[in-house]
Amino acid sequence: MSTTKRNWFEYNKAKTCRFQIFISLLLLILDTVPLPSLYKGKGRKPYSTRNIVICLCFKIYYKTSYRDIIGELNNHKKELGLKKVPHFNTLRKYMVDPRMTVILGILLLFLLQPIAALETTFASDATGFGTSRKSEYFSVVTKSQTKKDAGTKKEKKKLLQKKKKKDFVKLHVTIGTVTQMVVCAVSTIGKKHESTQFETMVSMVATVFSIKEWLGDAGYLSRKACNLVSKQHGIPYFWPKSNSTSKSRGSYAWSDMMIMFKKNLEFFKKHYHQRSKVESVFSVIKNYFGNTVFSRKIEGQLNELLVKVLDYNLCRLGEVAFYMKIDIDSYFLCCEIEEVTPMSTCVLPQTSHG
């Protein structure tokens, strides 16, 4: 797909049919991929996994609350094959279910099958999404007080001032630079640094794709990250800091990258510049599906980010198939669920005991 010359007829046709493409691809993958059941073996049988995923994807697509989406689901009940629309509390319950994280990762994995042979260059980054929760913290404020007995003499008194700030959750993604689809995603709390999830993303991508290049900003800069990419026969392109040296210290990939940056900067920039595409992906996700999450529990917030990624990939795969003339149906004929590594996960905060 060329970015310099655009066929506006094809572009307009793909954009105007985005909702129809989204529904058709969602139903295609849900009717093809065998998903694990949500039944725990007690009580009455729950709604099918297919119906729950459809409702949650629609909820994120319309950027609305659990109550408001019920009306839209009733309008599209026949089109989606829903015999009965679940209660909004049922949707809220399944959004915080940890099994839903695995299901979303499996669906994301099978969505990548049509582009498995196209992507060899990958770019990673992270962005934050706002929540409705606020956390409290204390800041030390120095206040000057004048004594009554000494008119000119002042003393400083330290006070603790309680403040509030909005919490946020973080979405770590890796995209393919050719199709600009998200090839793996990890959702965490906002304080998790990008580099902590890099090893997980490399292992996920290596199960499906062959890695030739990996791009990242200074947040991923480390010798360990260079070794992880080099182990998969790829070349790392991480933007160095001002105090970075070319000493290998056990990482020859780091040394080669630093020498390339210092002696052939234009060549380095030519490859590294593709990293800007991941910023475009974040912009599209936030514009299409919102830059906040509605769930109040942290489990629901992290799963909500993964549903945003799934919705984005459904829309993006339809555009890629339209531009590149890819027959998507042929890639979903033989789907095996055994020994599958999901391409997305969430990292819950650890709770302290005692």
Please write the tens of the pLDDT for every residue from 97-115.
999 999 999 999 999 988 9
Paired sense of beta strands 344-346 and 182-189, if any: parallel
Distance CA 95, CA 304 (A): 7
Compute CA 68 distance to the chain's CA centroid, rounded to the nearest angstrom: 25
* pLDDT-based confidence at residue 121 (cuts at 50, 70, 90): very high
Question: What is the arithmetic mean of pLDDT over 208-233?
Answer: 94
- C-alpha 90/C-alpha 67 separation (Å) is 11
β-partners of residue 160 are 140
User: pLDDT, tens digit, for every residue of 148-200?
Assistant: 444 555 556 666 666 666 788 999 999 999 999 999 999 998 888 888 999 99
Say how far apart CA 186 and CA 344 lie, in whole Å.
6
The pTM for the full model equals: 0.87
The mean pLDDT of 128-149, rounded to a whole number, is 65
At residue 47, does pLDDT exceed 90? no
pLDDT at 190: 84
| Cβ count within 10 A of residue 255 | 17
What are the tokens at 47?
Answer: 């709604």
